[in-house]
Chain A
């Protein structure tokens, strides 16, 4: 009797622990936040799971969530997730588009999705994408495998903004080789390292038809059009290897914290300074990069470059940016910026950092006050080593004012809501 009850107990434990693996977020972390740590009053659901490399996402006026994948899932690179009964969990996922990419923007009657070379447009009627209407509006952009993803955003004047990341760390003669000098001027800037503007209603545009709207941006993944002040905002991924290349200027810890990951407000014609300049988080100043003669105090031409409006610790990889225009969240969130930090690698052997969603309050198009962590808990127990569970990548606002977050390591999509 005693033996059999022990056996039963063991069996029960086994059953429960097997169940935990399948459904741990709902069982053992507060189910109201789906495993995330959120401010008081916010809750979250797992809207969809296991999409694979889910990069950016965008929500249609009817609540359909469109997700762009950087690895095909069952042969498809775009998925539409539909939550017909509005319980915060999508019941159906339907895929289309046989190309990988990062950027996606949905409007009431059109869908824009990027490959690593260009942008495609689709018509939407009665909440259904007409996949036969696919039109390449931008093509032939650089894809040299480094910083190859193309992020996109729209203004309200018929233009689309496309990031073309520099296929380089520092525009050295030999990329990422210690001691190799920086090229002056950097030839990459003619075709990459900036944001290009194209028309949303023209087919087959490339460099010849587009405008280099902003330059001197090493790589941008998170970008958004701010409708309050009608300007483009971007998050730049700062350079790698300051400590490894210049141990005489940077300690290991300073190399982990520098350079800043920067948020820029980008007027037409802006030059953010890459590869010549970086923002030093210790000196609190835009300085000349060592590859171009910098010594952590020389400013050079960097004083004349477009200055960032906010700086963050190094290497955290801001991959998603969205300005909150909804009514659901408390007043302090209105017009503020949410930023998804994908998480670092170039901090080793210092602990890795990032893997969370940050909020920056804004007033009149300017950051007001300090940034704060809004959603955390994506990384799991092994954050320091970078062996993390989830990596926040894309952000989108739903028509009801909810915030969606995508993870591009396993493909989990969260829906974050607020209730008084």
Chain B
């Protein structure tokens, strides 16, 4: 019984260790891949610094759209966004097309990049999140 407890504790420690040691490289790798996707598909409208274009394309910097609910954010990429939105008192009307043709990996990477660039800090998005979101939005 005692040995099981120790084993559990040990595996927990190992998990924690592997999380801290793997998380940072995983983030860096995802951001590196994500930046390429961002540059191709997002930067033209949201601009290199993520600040967007006044009245048209919303900023990606420290907004609840980017830092909040992952599924909602993934949904914007999958479904596009064609409605007026308001951020810090400014309205944005630009039309964003659906980017559902990107792979789960690409969407996960680019959103991880956006959520951890331009002064943003938020958790990783993994391909499984995108896979589940695709199912959720199909319903």
Point out residues on A near B: beta carbons under 8 Å.
Answer: 53, 145-146, 148, 169, 174-180, 240-241, 244, 345-346, 348-349, 385-387, 391, 409
Contacts and interface: CB of A to CB of B under 8 A. Distances in A.
B138 to A, nearest CB: 17
Interface of B: 39-41, 43-45, 47-49, 51, 53-57, 80, 82-84, 93-98, 101
Contacts of B93: 145-146, 148
Given A176-B95, A179-B101, A145 B40 contact: no
B51 A387 contact: yes
A243 to B, nearest CB: 8
Given A179-B101, A385-B48, A349 B39 contact: yes
B39 A386 contact: no
A92 to B, nearest CB: 27
A174 B43 contact: no
Contact of A175 (B41, B84, B95): B95
Contacts, number: 55
Nearest to A347: B44
Contacts of B83: 145
A306 B134 CA distance: 46
Contacts of A169: 95
B43 A348 contact: yes
A345 B46 CA distance: 9
B80 to A, nearest CB: 8
A346 B44 contact: yes
Contact of A349 (B43, B45, B55, B80): B43
A178 B97 contact: yes
A97 to B, nearest CB: 19
B116 to A, nearest CB: 20
A241 B44 contact: yes
A169 B56 CA distance: 13
**Most chain-A CB neighbours within 10 Å: which of B44, B94, B101?**
B44
Closest 3 CB pairs of A and B: A177-B97, A176-B97, A345-B53
Given A386-B53, A409-B54, A348 B44 contact: yes
Nearest to A179: B101
A241 to B, nearest CB: 7
Contacts of B45: 345-346
A345 B96 CA distance: 15
Contacts of A178: 41, 97, 101
Given A345-B53, A348-B43, A349-B39, 11 more contacts: A145-B83, A145-B93, A176-B95, A176-B96, A177-B97, A178-B101, A244-B40, A345-B56, A348-B47, A349-B48, A387-B51
